[in-house]
Amino acid sequence: MLMTPLKLGLFIDGQNAYKQARNAFFSPTDPFVDGQFNPVALAELIASKGGPNGDICEVEHVRIYTGQPSSARDPKGYSANRKQISQWTSLGCTAIPRPLQYPRNPMESPREKGIDVALAVDYVRFGIDRLYDIGVIFSTDTDLLPALELVRSRYSNTAVAATAAWRSPNARRRLAIQNTGIWCHWLDYSDYQRVRDETDYTR
């Protein structure tokens, strides 16, 4: 008897996943493209590993949330961001950009604003609407824990809440809910090599 594949939705905090890849596999002096990844290839890799119970999975949604530089304050960064988003979209990924927040002090770096909220809202909304059978959050941002907790506690009959994270001898951070044993798709350097993106979008 053939098993119906479970629909997998992957929700990626783009900058967090990039930084965690660099922390896990690279040094601060390595080229900035080291840490970049193809979000659709990442989703397909996670799906190929199956669900928590060895379930067969297929990718249903790939969504990546990212900060967007200002076209006025950082035209080069804005252009690179647009090229990267265009590439993601062409692969079948849905990109959700949010404008970066620029501090008054020009010496301070711009900050992402609203990324975690946008991701959390979509994660819960997609779970309620049964748009995935397994919802995977790729981030180590603990602000996303309430979304995981809600899907796990209220919609466990129709949706599996799960996470994904990079792992190396130097890094083993993940989102976890205490005493629940929530499933994590751990990905190592060989996994990263399969999904890496070496494109320099600043050119």
Question: What CATH number corresponds to the domain at position 135?
Answer: 3.40.50.1010
Task: Give a yes or no: residue 65 inside a domain.
Answer: yes
Whether 118 is in a domain gets the answer no
Q: Is residue 119 part of a domain?
A: no
- Indicate whether 52 belongs to any domain: yes
Domain contains 203: no
Q: Could you list the residue range(s) of the whole structural domain that residue 50 is in? A: 11-113+124-195
Establish if 178 belongs to a structural domain. Answer: yes
For residue 142, what are its two tokens? 């603990």
CA 87 to chain centre: 16
Distances (CA, A) of 195 to 39, 96, 130: 8, 20, 28
For 45, how many CA atoms within 13 A lie in the half-sphere containing its CB? 22
If phi > 0 it is left, if psi is from -120 to 50 it is alpha, else beta; for residue 143 that is alpha
Helix-strand-coil split of the chain, %, nearest 5: 35, 25, 40
R_g of the chain, CA atoms, integer Å: 17
pLDDT attached to residue 17: 97
pLDDT for the residue 171: 87
List per-residue pLDDT tens for the chain, 203 residues long: 557 899 999 999 999 999 999 999 999 999 999 999 999 999 999 999 998 888 899 999 999 999 999 999 999 999 999 999 999 999 999 999 999 999 989 889 999 999 999 999 999 999 999 999 999 999 999 999 999 999 999 998 999 999 999 999 988 888 876 666 789 999 999 999 999 999 999 99
For residue 68, tell me if it sits in a domain.
Answer: yes
User: Domain count of the chain?
Assistant: 1
**Is residue 87 in a domain?**
yes
